[in-house]
Amino acid sequence: MSKRMGTRFDVLAESLMPSLIALLPNSARVMSSSAVVTITFVIAVSLSFFLCVTILYCMYVVCVCTVS
pLDDT tens digits for 55-64? 878 777 777 6
Q: What percent of the chain has a predicted confidence (pLDDT) above 70?
A: 81
Top-confidence residue, 68 or 11: 11
Mean pLDDT computed over 27-46: 82
Identify the CA nearest to 64 among candidates 19, 56, 13.
56
Please tell me the distance from the alpha carbon of residue 28 to that of residue 26, in angstroms, as a whole number.
Answer: 5
Question: 65 versus 15: which is more confidently predicted?
Answer: 15
Q: Provide the pLDDT confidence category of residue 28 given band limits of 50, 70 and 90.
A: confident
